[in-house]
Structure 1
Amino acid sequence: MYFVATVLAILSGLFYAASHHEIGSLGVTMCQYGSSFCANPLIVLVGAALAAVWGAFVSVR
């Protein structure tokens, strides 16, 4: 679950950069297919936080 949280956090950063036109043609493609995430990358970041909390909750040590 920590892996999923890390991937989602990275994707949140990429969507943020794409919405500010900082990563070129990749950003245009990302915003074309994921326009709601480009408009509000906080959605993906909240998903990453929930995945991290869930991973901590179910981890057995």
Structure 2
Amino acid sequence: MHFVAGALAVISGILYAAGNNDIGSYGPTICSYGGTFCDHPSYVFVGAVLAALWGTFVSIR
């Protein structure tokens, strides 16, 4: 689950950069698939935080 949280955090950063046109010509292409997430990348980041918390609480050691 921590891997999923890390992946979501990276995707959140990519969507943030695409929404601010910081990654060049790839930004409009990425935002055409997920316009809402480019406008509000915090939605994905909250998912990453929840996945990290879930992974922490259900881990068996």
TM range (shorter): over 0.9
TM-score normalised by length of structure 1:
0.96
Partner of 1:4: 4
Gaps of 5+ in 1: none
Q: Which amino acid aligns with 2:38?
A: C
Q: Which amino acid aligns with 2:49?
A: A
Partner amino acid, structure 1, of 2:9? A
Give identity over the alignment, percent: 57
Distance between the aligned counterparts of 1:37 and 1:46, measured in 2? 12
Paired position in structure 2 for 1:52:
52
- Runs of at least 5 residues in structure 2 that lack an aligned partner in the other structure: none
1:17-56 matches, cutoff 5 A? 17-56=17-56
Q: Structure 1 counterpart of 2:29, which letter?
A: T
Structure 1 segments, 4+ long, off by >2 Å, are none
- State the 1:49 CA deviation: 0.3
Relative to the length of structure 2, the TM-score reads 0.96
Provide the aligned C-alpha RMSD in A. Answer: 0.6
